[in-house]
Homo-oligomer: A and B are copies of this chain.
Amino acid sequence: MECIEQANQRAVDTMLAGDPVLVDVIPAVDAIPELAEDKLILHAGPPIEWERMCGPMQGAIAGIAVFEGWAQNLNDAMSQAAAGAFNFQPNHHYNAVGPMTGMTTRSVPVMVALNRSSGNSAYCAINEGLGKVMRFGGNDESVLKRLHWLKDSLAPLMSDALKLSGGINLKNIVARGLTMGDEMHQRNVACSGLLLRELSPYMAAVSTSKELLTGSLKFMGGNDQFFLNVGMAAGKAIMDPARNIEHSTIVTAMSRNGTDFGIRVSGLGDTWFTAPVEMPEGLYFPGYSEDDANPDMGDSTIVETIGLGGFAMGASPAVAGFVGAGAASDAAIFTKDMSEICYSQNPEWTIPAMDYIGVPTGIDIRRVVEIGVTPTINTGIAHKKPGIGQVGAGVVRAPMQCFTDALHAFADQEGVS
């Protein structure tokens, strides 16, 4: 037991020492050289083959294949995918994360979060905004046009601005965001604004086109969830150095592909422990209901893995209503519950309304199983058909089976079963 405590302390210390800085935006292939080979498509969640993918995931894959020029049109892309023309791998296997469908291919621009503490980097695509977008399975011309604009226009401008800035400290932005009602999963308006405040002078300084600068400021300023993907890259950069710590029972990743929910545990290497993903319970946009909903999806649960999202609900009473989690004044209950399954709290990420307690940090699979409480996740809800988009937001629980399976495997490995 003592070596488990020490290992978990080391894992949590590594997390708390994490110092993610947004340093660049680059083509994914420059971040992940493997993307140059084959027709590699990285997706959210644990590994999954084409046949078992949900509708939005298949829709996004069709769209990204057209975007990369690997298919003539969406039908062609679907046929090729079914015929095995593409190589599917999880983002998580390549230092990357992506929200919802989480498409990452060679030409997609990715934001680079450098963890100055450990020296590793993590990558995430730029948030596309609301409405018809690829992360919710959108794949029509408007979606591809936006992706081309992100690639050809916004990404190079952000890259130049970030280089001139010397990098944007993301730990500080998250800390401030927690005092401003963000939980960094379904609510990112404060952090999006704080990032724009820091970056916009550098964007102005490097810009060579008034039209591009104006459009970029409007795009970033008009997207309340712009920071979600930045926070995700930060989360991945924070968690990766906490992987593979022998004897540790701390969760290093939680993720879902729309079909399966998967977790990874530090002391169990890179094995995924999966179970069927659950349906979010939440509120639907007008005209939609749970009949339209796709099961939970995306790598965005990396934010819960570092103590934000559903774990930081107490910082974000306004999100409680948005995700249908009850009264705003009850938001703190979620954070208190999550503290029960975590090894520690984060002294730098605190919640004023809860008299500055730190967000729950380091999910311990032993506590999850012992107490019988699984992680709470604040999530967007995608339409189950490809190409439609977000239809609501809600709360979903990680399936207990992932944790019991992982704990059994841990017991086997430690020789205590």
Binding site for B on A (CB under 8 A): 176, 179-182, 189-190, 192-194, 196-198, 200-202, 204-205, 207, 210, 213-215, 217-218, 220-222, 317-318, 320-321, 327-329, 331, 352-356
Q: Within the complex, what minimum Cβ distance (angstroms) separates A319 from chain B?
A: 9
B354 touches A329 (CB 8 A): yes
In the A-B complex, the 8 residue pairs with the smallest Cβ-Cβ separation, listed nearest first, are A193-B193, A197-B221, A317-B352, A201-B218, A318-B352, A201-B217, A179-B318, A317-B353
Known: A180-B180, A329-B353, A353-B329. A205 touches B214 (CB 8 A): yes
Given contacts A179-B181, A204-B217, A329-B355, 4 further A-B contacts (CB under 8 A): A180-B181, A200-B221, A201-B218, A320-B352
Q: Which residues of B contact A328 (CB under 8 A)?
A: 352-356
Contact residues in B for A189 (Cβ distance below 8 Å)? 176, 180
- The smallest C-beta distance from A214 to any residue of chain B, in angstroms, reads 4
Q: Which residues of B contact A200 (CB under 8 A)?
A: 196, 200, 217, 221
Q: How far is the CB of A326 from chain B (nearest CB, A)?
A: 10
Contacts of A321 in B (CB 8 A): 352
The smallest beta-carbon distance between A318 and chain B, in angstroms, is 4
CB distance from A332 to the nearest CB of B (A): 9
Question: Which residues on B sit within 8 Å (CB–CB) of A222?
Answer: 197
Judging by beta carbons under 8 Å apart, are A213 and B204 in contact? Answer: yes
Name A's interface SS: helix
Shortest beta-carbon distance from A194 to chain B in Å: 6
Q: How far does the alpha carbon of A284 sit from the alpha carbon of B201 in the complex, in Å?
A: 32
Closest B residue to A215 using CB positions: B201
Residues of B within 8 A of A204 (CB): 204, 207, 210, 213-214, 217
How many Å from the CB of A207 to the closest CB on chain B? 8
In this complex, what residue of B is CB-closest to A226? B197
User: When the two chains form their complex, are residues B352 and A181 in contact, meaning their CB atoms are under 8 A apart?
Assistant: yes
25 example contacts (A-B, Cβ-Cβ < 8 A) are as follows A176-B189, A179-B181, A179-B318, A180-B181, A181-B181, A181-B190, A181-B352, A196-B197, A197-B220, A200-B221, A201-B217, A201-B218, A201-B221, A202-B214, A204-B204, A204-B207, A207-B210, A317-B352, A317-B353, A318-B352, A327-B355, A328-B356, A329-B353, A329-B354, A353-B353
Contact A221 B205 (CB under 8 A): no
Q: Given A318-B352, A321-B352, do A190 and B180 touch, yes or no (CB 8 Å)?
A: yes
Q: In the assembled complex, which residues on chain B have CB atoms less than 8 Å from the CB atom of A213? A: 204
**In the complex the two chains form, what is the Cα distance from A221 to B173 in whole Å?**
13
- Our pick among B179, B181, B194 for the contact of A193 (Cβ within 8 Å) is B194
Minimal Cβ-Cβ distance residue in B for A314: B353
B205 touches A210 (CB 8 A): yes
Q: In the complex, what's the smallest C-beta–C-beta distance from A174 to chain B, in angstroms?
A: 14
CB A226 to nearest CB in B, in angstroms, measures 10
| A190 neighbours in B (Cβ, 8 Å) | 180-181, 190, 193
When C-beta atoms are compared, the residue in chain B nearest to A197 turns out to be: B221
- In the assembly, what is the distance between CA of A122 and CA of B328, in Å? 35
A181, A220, A329 — most chain B CB neighbours (10 Å): A181
Q: Collect the chain B residues with CB atoms within 8 Å of residue A354's CB.
A: 328-329
What B residues does A356 contact at CB under 8 A? Answer: 328
Known contacts A317-B353, A352-B321; A197 and B205 CB within 8 A of each other: no
Residues on the B chain within 8 Å of A180, using CB:
180-182, 189-190
